[in-house]
Structure 1
Amino acid sequence: MEIVMENPVTLAWLGDAIYNLKVRETILASGKCRPDVLQKTAAKYNSAVGQAKVLDALLERDLLNEDEKEIVRRGRNAHVKSPAKNADLKTYLKATGLEALFGYLSLYHHEERMEELLTICMDLGETL
């Protein structure tokens, strides 16, 4: 495994932006254009609950390699100071783990793998 020195919360901060951008691109590509529909649809994907469900599906289907599972584990074990208002701590930390994964993949230049997993996540998100 690569030596990853970044705090998992820092990785999650970056991963949140990457995930959010992919969600927005996916929603726009689906042809939705009314602002209220865009926001409601994005919230479904970007909520801690939605991200936790996507992570659970990735893990259940064994779609992550060992390095990726380790980053997710670090994200889930992170010490957060302000958890989400609309999710319990366990759910919030799962979402943090998913976001940390995408922060890691981006920061360590695993772009192809990041795109592969983002596509899978968007497909899973459509089922939420």
Structure 2
Amino acid sequence: MEEDLRGYFSAPMWTEDEARGQNPLVLAYIGDCVYELFIRSRILHRNEKVARLHRASAKRAKASAQSALAEELKDFFTEEEAAVYRRGRNAHSKTTAKNASVADYRRATGFECLIGYLYSSGNTARLVEYFKEIERIWENEG
């Protein structure tokens, strides 16, 4: 059974050129899922009830937190990654921010777009570098 499921979850979904050609909101949609899985996998070691786990992951996943990460990671972006981030940040969506400023929401969308691009193009080594850098940032927060 495991052999049958592998193709559904393995990257790359597209070549880098194909990923660059995707609608940035599609990449952000994928990136949101990948980032949420990353967050949840990092907090599972806590021996807490699900409600507390959810609050902890929501704190990291909210637009303002993603926006702050994007700002901290700007110097980490390659030129290509910066271009993908800007495409996501500047994408027009009919969705509005619930509990975030428009600027935070747009930066968060850019961040998710970048994560989605790295994942879907199979650049998992670079994605891991980002996740390690994010963990470093989190450790320095508190």
TM-score over 0.5 (shorter chain): yes
Alignment equivalent of 1:17, drawn from 33, 36, 39: 33
> Looking at CA atoms only, which structure, 1 or 2, has the larger radius of gyration?
2
* Amino acid corresponding to residue 83 of structure 2 in structure 1: E
* Residue 13 (structure 2) aligns with: none
Question: What is the CA-CA distance between 1:88 and the residue it aligns to?
Answer: 1.4
Q: Which runs of 5+ in 1 are unaligned?
A: none
Matched, 1:55 2:75: no
Question: What is the CA-CA distance between 1:32 and the residue it aligns to?
Answer: 4.0
Distance 1:123 1:46 in 2: 16
Question: What is the CA-CA distance between 1:118 and the residue it aligns to?
Answer: 1.7
* Residue 117 (structure 2) aligns with: 104
Matched, 1:27 2:40: no
Alignment equivalent of 1:118, drawn from 128, 131, 134: 131
* Amino acid corresponding to residue 6 of structure 1 in structure 2: Q
* Amino acid corresponding to residue 86 of structure 1 in structure 2: N
TM-score, normalised to structure 2, is: 0.81
Compute the RMSD of aligned alpha carbons: 1.5
Matched, 1:65 2:78: yes
Identity score, percent: 36
* Residue 38 (structure 1) aligns with: 53
Question: What is the CA-CA distance between 1:26 and the residue it aligns to?
Answer: 0.5
Contact map agreement 1:32 1:38 (CA 8 A) in 2: no
* Amino acid corresponding to residue 126 of structure 2 in structure 1: R
Contact map agreement 1:50 1:125 (CA 8 A) in 2: no
Matched, 1:90 2:108: no
1:58-108 superposed Cα distances (whole Å, 9 cap, x missing partner)? 01xx11111111100001100011122001111101000000001100111
- Match of 2:113, SS? helix
The structure whose residues are more often helix, as a share, is 2
TM-score, normalised to structure 1, is: 0.90
1:17-46 superposed Cα distances (whole Å, 9 cap, x missing partner)? 0000000000113x2422222111111110
